[in-house]
Structure 1
Amino acid sequence: MIPYYILRLAPSSSLFYLWCRVCGVFFCEMGSKVETSSATTGATPESIAFPASLISHPRLTPIIQTDISNTRLQIGDQLRERWVIKGLIGNGGYGEIYYAIDTTNGEPVAAKVEPVKRRGKVVRRMILEQKVLLRLQGQPHVPLMWGSGVERTINYIVMQVLSTNLNELRKQCPLKRLSRSTSGRVMQQAIAGLRDLHNFGYLHRDIKPANMCFGLTEKSMRRLFIVDYGLVRRFRRDDGQRIPQRTRVGFRGTMRYVSMRVHDRKEQGPSDDMIALFFCLLEALKGELPWKYINSDTKMKAMKMEMVTDDFAKVSQNFGKELGDFGRTVMNMSAEDEPNYRDLQLIMKRMCGGRHLNEPYDWENDYVEVFTDILSNIDS
């Protein structure tokens, strides 16, 4: 779909040329993705008959691998004689996530598993996640949990099945970025999700695009869900009293997104989750973080500090005043400060031009708004 004002440009126009170049890359990449996805990932969701209760979307719907062997569970295995494993959604350093069917009602679920012991030590990450998820049930940006427990040599949590994560949704764009409209609305929802988590007295401590997904029903496909609560920590008791900060702590998080305090091994607060969210926003708009290929803790922190020292002038020039406003606001907070979630949401509302949260996102319209953002910047 080419915007009307592009069609009115002369064929020799630089904007028209750029549009054609971008679209050429776009359609070439789309073709290559179609060829490789079916060839390298086993079965698509449709081939294992997704129930009618879930939407089937070419970008949102996760790829389900049915050709699995070196995994903790196999096709046909059951958890609590209720949830039957049908395929693998994904895996990582801490465990695996399976696609399963609830035999009591035929509904799809996601089963997250990890070993009870690793290197001879009891793994407590999923035990903590289960407790936190249970407390957070009913919050709009938290996945529903259907059950949890221990079976054979694994801990498991059975929860709502969700979409491909935000990081992969961004990568599906040929330019590997998201539009201001989509980014601003995603961030508004993420801010709300973190506000709810913080109100319960917990810090997430691993905010990143890979831990953000969307629903897979008609009602939830434009609702953001924050996942992976295995690194949470209480910072406030139920009576509202802050837990005293430790003077020295271990590293928790994903280095690419953590705040400077985390680089310094200092105690985190709510603002550190928000700083990580700022780096997620920068990556969404830019396509990658400036320190993507840096492995040194010290060098990465220095590059982040350069952005603060520059008062976000460069990123504001390239990606809009709102990006700098958001960064400046969260970077000026101490670990003890309570974020003003409403003000941060208003900044993001300005970024997306007041678009409604339930309007289509980039992956629903072939990332056209990403290209129009670029063309608008050139035009201005």
Structure 2
Amino acid sequence: FFVVYIVYSMCSAESSFTERSPKRQKTVAGWSGRTSRVSRSSTNYGTQDEGYRCIPNGYFFQCGNMQPQSPSRGAGRLAQLSAQNLLRLEQTVRQASVSSCGASSEVYTEQTNPTLREEASSDSSSVSSDASSIDYEDDFFGCWQASRKLCSGNNGQVYLGRLATELVDVQVALKVEKRSLRRSHLKNEMKVFEALRTLPGFPQVLDSGQVDDKLWVAMELLGPSLRSVHDRYKFDEDLVLFVGIQMLERLQALHSKGYVHLSVKPDNFCLQVQSNGEVSVNMIDFGRCEKFVDEAGKHITYGNNRGGPFSRWYHSSGALRGKKQSRRDDLQSLAYSLVYFFLGDEFVDWREGLRRPESADVARHYRYRLPDWLLRFITYATDLQWSDAPDYDGLLVSMRRRTTSHGTLSATEFFAHATLRHFKKLAARC
């Protein structure tokens, strides 16, 4: 009788533990909710520090209560809020800015500011060493108040800007640069924005101007960069195809205006949720852009570049040799960015460890680790001649053939969730 009682007690304890433990909850579509820290290799969408796990049908389970949350619903709310803010901004910002701030919100264009016509005659190596150390938090630029620094670089800083009045409360990305710099990347960026203003997939400039010795631009506040999302989540082929197609479309649009980007990398592509719930990938940071055609429409001549690349992780072989860059080099950098999405830090460490990375054959080295379409992409970009026009449509067709409707829907919901999560964290920190 004593033995039977012990066995019965053990079974009762196990059944009660099963009811309480979230690790043994019911599964949906064969995927159980994640309740503890898992490695990035255990799931395509695993994260190291949050209790979320993505399943194929798009639900996300939160650690503890295991309540399903629809990312598409959250993305719809985010898109609706963004659309309302932009609409209110469009209707009232010009009137409210002057009356409430008493500061000039003059748009910084070539017509209103003749200094924009100055050509950038020196490379970025002459940038002041304290350009990124100056803090402008709580300062006003026009009627926009810089509330929190988002990032900084060699040429300036990007802040979370805010316009708060009785009529409107809008947040923007506020880019600030000292006017004393010998080469102004912000002036060059404004020229590119002017050329791209009617094209989708690029941030819209809302306001710009000059305060004392500082130039500033207020533009749409986008979501997280692809680099920051990849640092948290592991990308599968569906996610890489989803962002790769849009990255190539943005590059094609930029090249159609006669510019090369010169800094194509995951950090310079940001997510944005549209008003219809779709997720778009936006290209940013045009400070280093250059024209690859002259005034007569002819391709520039081949030669040495005055300023070398800032990073060897994604730059083309020609850029690492110190040569001028063309559309071919942008395409190679895009291909290496897609390789990074598949391999992560392994690719970065391998390229950093090479004595001559410009001579390395990436496609051959990773021929057993990468999908066929990406190997063909790398080989095509490497074999292009310096002045050749890339076959963007052919590359897009080969990538779209590998996509599926289920994969596209899953990727849309995943990136919408990542964008919503980014804005929630941003709001919590402000």
Using a 3 Å threshold, how does the CA distance of structure 1 residues 359 and 257 change in structure 2: closer, same or farther?
A: closer
Q: Confirm or deny that 1:87 pairs with 2:148.
A: yes
Q: Could you say which residue in structure 2 is the equivalent of 1:74?
A: 137
Q: Could you say which residue in structure 1 is the equivalent of 2:81?
A: 53
Using a 3 Å threshold, how does the CA distance of structure 1 residues 195 and 154 change in structure 2: closer, same or farther?
A: same
Q: Is the 8 A contact 2:260 2:326 kept in 1?
A: yes
Q: Could you say which residue in structure 2 is the equivalent of 1:299?
A: 356
Q: Could you say which residue in structure 2 is the equivalent of 1:22?
A: 42
**Partners of 2:245 and 2:417 in 1: CA distance:** 20
SS of the residue aligned with 2:50? Answer: helix
Q: Could you say which residue in structure 2 is the equivalent of 1:345?
A: 396
Q: Aligned ranges for residues 1-380 of structure 1 at < 5 Å?
A: 4=29, 22=42, 26=46, 29-30=49-50, 53-54=81-82, 71-75=134-138, 77-80=139-142, 82-103=143-164, 105-117=168-180, 121-173=181-233, 177-219=234-276, 222-237=279-294, 239-292=296-349, 295=352, 298-302=355-359, 305-308=360-363, 310=364, 315-353=366-404, 355-356=407-408, 360-364=412-416
**Partners of 1:159 and 1:334 in 2: CA distance:** 36
SS of the residue aligned with 1:281? Answer: helix
> C-alpha deviations, 1:92-120, integer Å up to 9, x for none?
23221111123574222110112222xxx
> C-alpha deviations, 1:236-289, integer Å up to 9, x for none?
135532223334543135321011011111121101101000010000011235
Using a 3 Å threshold, how does the CA distance of structure 1 residues 207 and 361 change in structure 2: closer, same or farther?
A: farther
Q: Is the 8 A contact 2:39 2:48 kept in 1?
A: no
**Partners of 1:103 and 1:195 in 2: CA distance:** 37
The range that moved more, 94-103 or 292-301, is 292-301
The range that moved more, 225-234 or 210-219, is 210-219
**Partners of 2:40 and 2:182 in 1: CA distance:** 56
Q: Is the 8 A contact 1:214 1:220 kept in 2?
A: no
SS of the residue aligned with 1:88? Answer: strand
Letter in 2 for 1:172: R
Which TM-score applies when normalising by structure 2?
Answer: 0.64
Using a 3 Å threshold, how does the CA distance of structure 1 residues 86 and 31 change in structure 2: closer, same or farther?
A: same
**Partners of 2:259 and 2:47 in 1: CA distance:** 44
SS of the residue aligned with 2:412? Answer: coil
Using a 3 Å threshold, how does the CA distance of structure 1 residues 343 and 357 change in structure 2: closer, same or farther?
A: farther
Which 5+ residue runs of structure 1 have no aligned equivalent?
8-17, 35-49, 56-69, 367-380
| CA displacement at 1:164 relative to structure 2 | 1.1
**C-alpha RMSD of matched pairs (Å):** 3.4
**Partners of 1:51 and 1:319 in 2: CA distance:** 35
Q: Could you say which residue in structure 2 is the equivalent of 1:42?
A: none
Q: Could you say which residue in structure 2 is the equivalent of 1:60?
A: none
**Partners of 1:266 and 1:242 in 2: CA distance:** 15
Q: How many residues align?
A: 312
The structure having more radius of gyration, on CA atoms, is 2
Using a 3 Å threshold, how does the CA distance of structure 1 residues 123 and 149 change in structure 2: closer, same or farther?
A: farther
| CA displacement at 1:208 relative to structure 2 | 0.3
| CA displacement at 1:54 relative to structure 2 | 3.3
**Partners of 1:19 and 1:295 in 2: CA distance:** 25
Using a 3 Å threshold, how does the CA distance of structure 1 residues 364 and 74 change in structure 2: closer, same or farther?
A: closer
> C-alpha deviations, 1:14-42, integer Å up to 9, x for none?
xxxx999826x94653259x9xxxxxxxx
| CA displacement at 1:146 relative to structure 2 | 1.3
Using a 3 Å threshold, how does the CA distance of structure 1 residues 4 and 158 change in structure 2: closer, same or farther?
A: same
**Partners of 1:289 and 1:346 in 2: CA distance:** 29
| CA displacement at 1:190 relative to structure 2 | 0.9
**Partners of 1:99 and 1:216 in 2: CA distance:** 18
**Partners of 1:233 and 1:359 in 2: CA distance:** 33
SS of the residue aligned with 2:339? Answer: helix
Letter in 1 for 2:356: K
Letter in 2 for 1:301: E
| CA displacement at 1:182 relative to structure 2 | 1.2
SS of the residue aligned with 2:81? Answer: coil
**Partners of 2:352 and 2:336 in 1: CA distance:** 16
Using a 3 Å threshold, how does the CA distance of structure 1 residues 150 and 220 change in structure 2: closer, same or farther?
A: farther
**Partners of 1:31 and 1:357 in 2: CA distance:** 22
> C-alpha deviations, 1:145-174, integer Å up to 9, x for none?
11223212222111110011100001111x
Letter in 1 for 2:160: Y
Which TM-score applies when normalising by structure 1?
Answer: 0.72
Q: Is the 8 A contact 2:271 2:415 kept in 1?
A: no
Using a 3 Å threshold, how does the CA distance of structure 1 residues 127 and 261 change in structure 2: closer, same or farther?
A: same
